[in-house]
Structure 1
Amino acid sequence: MQLNRRLFMGGAAAGAAAASLAAPMAHASNHGKPKVVVIGGGAGGATAARYIAKDSKGEIDVTLVEPTRSYYTCFFSNLYLAGFRKLSSIAHSYGKLASDFGVNVVHDWAVGIDRAARTVTLAGGATLPYDRLILSPGIDFVDGTVEGWDVTQQNKMPHAYKAGSQSELLKAQIEAMPEGGTFAMVAPPNPFRCPPGPYERISMVAHILKAKNPTAKIIIADPKDKFSKMALFQEGWGDLYSGMIDWIGSDFGGGNVSVNPDEMALTIDGEKTKVDVCNVIPAMKAGRICEIAGITDGNWAPVNPHTMQSRVDENIHVLGDASQQGDMPKSGFAANSQAKVAAMAVRAALTGSKLFPAKFTNTCWSLIDTDNGVKVGASYEATDEKIAKVDGFISQTGEDSELRKATYEESIGWYAGITADMFG
């Protein structure tokens, strides 16, 4: 099915059956409209803010807190690395959320949450009261998971797993590689944002090196023994980039890795190799604000799958990468799907609107080469224990070029649809 803006935006409540009418709660401020604060303006937060504001028809005050004025999507950022997209094409502003939907967009950092008082403190000194709080801060990195690397080294060995300036830096480093040079990636352990992402990135790096630096080599040090779409990627690498890519999984020491940014060196299972570019993607955890709020299990924030409410605090909902929810991957599509469920639950709690059973969907597309797209996806439902996978699909090895091209074109339609759904 070709995904477009109309179909994507119309899917918010598709297939849901009517449930009971929820009674609105008392407001924290005891007067005026109920207040919702959303922290994080990505696929989860922007979508939730927009849907709550749009569907409540002015009955709820919605504030979105996001430090950046231009949001760069991590999805499709790999295509920028290979020259299939311009950086400007993955950059989005929040103007329409404010002008068309009445969302109060605040460009600042959230630095404190008082759950008892139900307030958010901003770096600029302001305090925002809330009746419901939605956290969608994305990911941060777990310190010490790659020996020799921390975020202070990200300019020498970029992660580029938060798009924008890191993406520009990694692209510049790739293009400056000497003839016959070596690109290395330290892949992350599970769970992490966008399971196919590192391997699509390898494909995109191989694509540009094949054209501009065909004798260059790529090394992947991977702590896992398998990865998302493994057969599809390895088929593509063998057919298109033969002899260029060396994947070193856990059986061959891929998890026993250290780096030396000053020497531009990578050591795998005791064997040291000089490299020209090293893309370090460390282990991940929920964005810092979840830790500040005290709602994590150490790395992630457990949620009630029916509403995306925190298991620790029912007045807080957690979306996307930061949540510990069950079977869904950490992806932009997943965050957007979860945001619609949370938005419906928030409106039901605050205005008494109908609450429908939670349904979720996800698809992750990846590009292996020009017009060579593959995908994996599933549908999900909420159980008391977790978001549970109902059924799924995946591209097959050996598909013809027309099908692969159609899959890539489908991803282009999806990108247009989801970004319109997020930002209006």
Structure 2
Amino acid sequence: MILTRRALIAGSAAATGLVYAPALLGQGKPRVVVIGGGAGGATVARYLAKDAAGALDVTLVEAEPAYATCFFSNLYLGGLRDFDSLVHGYDRLAAGNVTVINDLATAVDREARRVTLAGGQVLDYDRLVLSPGIDFVEDSVPGWSLAAAETMPHAYKGGAQTELLKRMIQAMPQGGVFAMVAPPNPYRCPPAPYERVCMIAHLLNQTNPTAKIIILDPKEKFSKQALFEEGWGKYYNDMIQWINPEFGGADVAVRPDSMEVVIEGEVQKVDCCNVIPAQVAGGIAAQAGLTDETGWAPVHPDSMKSRIDGNIWILGDSSAQGDMPKSAFSANSQAKVAAMAIRGELIGSRVFPAKYSNSCWSLIAPEDGVKLGASYEPSGDRIASVDSFISDTGEDAALRKLTYEESFGWYAGITADIFG
């Protein structure tokens, strides 16, 4: 039997799951392996393959055959978007000269420059990019664990958890209580828990108008607070109560089996509970020894290269880089800087000074959107904000509607940029 490249790829597909291969894979090209197929990983893989014009062997490793975005999932919870609109496949990346392997990366051997997958396949690399998103600190909310997420969902990774949370909200009795345990800083997408509350309140206003929402928050303040509180008062008729640390928001435990929350020792029965725990870098970053005592992975601000291993880049939520929030826009922006730096090292292409940006839209109510954002540049040992903006309270309805429509255009544009 003659073992061809085609036969090898087919064998790997049988062993590890679906594999897409580009039409032509050159031999002897520098090998870049990317772990994680979200906003950071898919973007860097796409831009490496596209801008290197075939000079790099780019492989994307992602456990799921399609990616459900966590960003915009709150609109699904509010009934303003269907779930299928959040799901994106990798066919276009595969057609763009990226080998896409649907398997879980379980180990990185930095000395050997090798990645091991759950199915047994081993991938050697010249450069490695990690964009594994977040993992959760199980003991950060007493009584909650990953197993308990089937009863008290986090819904902070897109997919089945988001669908579960919506089913539970829809099943609440009339006049029932929805509780959210908000996360401590830092965490993915700072305004997202509070946009989620808006969208859940919008849904309940239509189906369960006497229901109540309580937010148990360990933070003294939160992103876009004045904008959200203005909206809660305008649209949601005292349905929402925010409980900060002064009133017990930082002293919370949960009892998933009995659907109870315990606030400063006082037990309250609830009908649905969304626990968003403390977060750290995706587990493969820690396994590779690339995180520090904070649980996040430090990077150089001019390239997103790891401070611990010069052959590895870390993007998006997992990175500890300075002022940029953990968001899809940030990850997409960082991925383009990283792709440029990697191409420069491997094929000698020109590298321009790093510039980053982020914008974040939040929906207060249908046709009432707000936003914030900033531009960033490397400064010393961190990525620093150099210019920023935020919506004002009291804006007129026409401007808010324009911001709302702008957010839909952004989602369509960024998902096309990420997935092709």
Structure-1 separation of matches of 2:63 and 2:323 = 30
Q: 2:337 aligns with which of 334, 341, 348?
A: 341
Map of 1:7 onto structure 2: none
Superposed, which structure 2 residues align to 1:82-93 within 5 Å? 82-93=78-89
Map of 2:4 onto structure 1: none
3-state SS of 2:380 partner: coil
Map of 2:116 onto structure 1: 121
Tell me if the contact between 1:47 and 1:340 (Cα under 8 Å) persists in the aligned partners: yes
Structure-2 separation of matches of 1:353 and 1:70 = 32
Structure-1 separation of matches of 2:334 and 2:379 = 14
Map of 1:413 onto structure 2: 409
Letter in structure 1 aligned against 2:235: L
Structure-1 separation of matches of 2:64 and 2:396 = 42
Give the gaps of 5 or more residues in structure 2: 1-26
Letter in structure 1 aligned against 2:142: E
CA shift, 1:384, in A, is 3.0
CA shift, 1:160, in A, is 0.1
Map of 1:4 onto structure 2: none
Superposed, which structure 2 residues align to 1:85-234 within 5 Å? 85-99=81-95, 101-234=96-229
Structure-1 separation of matches of 2:180 and 2:210 = 18
**% identical aligned pairs:** 65
Map of 1:68 onto structure 2: 64
CA shift, 1:283, in A, is 0.0
Map of 1:370 onto structure 2: 366
Superposed, which structure 2 residues align to 1:379-394 within 5 Å? 379-394=375-390
Structure-2 separation of matches of 1:262 and 1:98 = 44
* 1:291 and 2:293 matched: no
Tell me if the contact between 1:73 and 1:90 (Cα under 8 Å) persists in the aligned partners: yes
Deviations 1:34-71 (A, max 9, x none): 00000000000000000000000000000000000110
Q: 2:41 aligns with which of 45, 69, 81?
A: 45
Structure-1 separation of matches of 2:130 and 2:399 = 38
* 1:357 and 2:353 matched: yes
Structure-1 separation of matches of 2:44 and 2:322 = 20
Structure-2 separation of matches of 1:252 and 1:352 = 58
Runs of 4 or more, structure 1, over 4 Å off, are none
CA shift, 1:142, in A, is 0.9
CA shift, 1:421, in A, is 0.4
Deviations 1:288-321 (A, max 9, x none): 0001100101310000010100000010000000
3-state SS of 2:128 partner: strand
Please, which moves more after superposition, 276-285 or 375-384?
375-384
Map of 1:308 onto structure 2: 304
Tell me if the contact between 1:306 and 1:384 (Cα under 8 Å) persists in the aligned partners: no
Structure-2 separation of matches of 1:374 and 1:345 = 34
CA shift, 1:414, in A, is 0.5
Deviations 1:145-189 (A, max 9, x none): 000000000110000000110010000000110000000000000
Superposed, which structure 2 residues align to 1:251-262 within 5 Å? 251-262=246-257
Deviations 1:251-283 (A, max 9, x none): 111010000001100011122110000000000
Structure-2 separation of matches of 1:251 and 1:229 = 20
Structure-2 separation of matches of 1:134 and 1:84 = 35
Tell me if the contact between 1:111 and 1:122 (Cα under 8 Å) persists in the aligned partners: yes
Structure-2 separation of matches of 1:369 and 1:200 = 9
CA shift, 1:143, in A, is 2.0
Structure-2 separation of matches of 1:251 and 1:314 = 45
Letter in structure 2 aligned against 1:192: Y
Map of 1:21 onto structure 2: none
Deviations 1:214-257 (A, max 9, x none): 00000000000100000000000011112111100111110100
TM-score (ref. length: structure 1): 0.92
3-state SS of 1:154 partner: helix
Higher relative contact order (CA 8 A, sep 6+): 1
Map of 1:398 onto structure 2: 394
3-state SS of 2:257 partner: coil
Structure-2 separation of matches of 1:106 and 1:323 = 23
Tell me if the contact between 1:304 and 1:384 (Cα under 8 Å) persists in the aligned partners: no
Give the gaps of 5 or more residues in structure 1: 1-30
3-state SS of 1:133 partner: strand
